[in-house]
Copies of this chain bind each other. A is one copy, B any other.
Amino acid sequence: MVKLAIIYYSATGTNYQMAKWAEEAGKEAGAEVKVRKVQELAPKEAIESNPAWKKNVEETKDVPVASSDDVEWADAILFSTATRFGGYASQMKQFLDTQGGLWAKGALVNKTVSAMSSAQNEHGGQEASILSFYTSLMHWGAIIIPPGYSDPVLFTTGGNPYGASATVDQDGNFTKDIQPAVSVQTKRLIEITKKIIAK
């Protein structure tokens, strides 16, 4: 049984929603799934001053915070984060950077990984953010499993070959239904991981 960790950062809920869709797909594909949020770095005042952010923090207060144990436990990891200036968010960067202990003992090698992103503009860094994930994960010795155009449904969800990516409007609504893309990507990650971990 594939162990899948879905590790996300979400300020106002978009990537949390994507993580939930991935969780559903992961379970359908027969994986054991953990959903984890990374530690917030923003000060309380920043969060309090933004109603959507505050609401999401409250709604996800029971989601466990991601730890090195989760990374070590997982066979496969699906990352999801909002874009921040064309890279994955600093909260996520902080999480990845602090896995040096696992790295030093070789515990990150052969993890299978895939990544998703979101932005407020259609071309606001969705591609670049996912690519920045993969560059980092290559340092881990991870095996990168992007969706490509491996399923026809991907042509209807924005066609991002690097990973599912959402565009959200000013009110935080998805401009397109990307759940099918999240699902295809997650299931593909599980299927290939199954083969890699088979005895």
Contact = CB atoms under 8 A, between A and B. Distances in A.
A196 B145 CA distance: 12
Interface string A108-123: 1110000000001111
A109 B198 contact: no
Interface stretch (A16-24, A26-34, A83-91): A83-91
Nearest to A42: B98
A144 B141 contact: no
Most chain-B Cβ atoms within 10 A of its Cβ — which of A126, A134, A138, A159? A138
B140 A85 contact: yes
**Chain A residues touching B, range:** 35 or more
B135 A128 contact: yes
Interface stretch (A53-61, A62-70, A71-79, A160-168): A160-168
A137 B109 CA distance: 21
B132 A132 contact: yes
A41 B144 CA distance: 29
Interface of A: 41, 84-87, 89-90, 93-94, 96-98, 103, 106, 108-110, 120-128, 131-132, 134-150, 155, 158-162, 165, 192, 195-196, 198
Nearest 4 CB-CB pairings of A with B: A141-B148, A121-B159, A123-B160, A144-B144
16 contacts: A84-B97, A85-B135, A93-B93, A122-B158, A123-B162, A124-B160, A125-B135, A125-B161, A127-B127, A128-B135, A135-B162, A138-B144, A139-B148, A142-B148, A143-B144, A192-B196
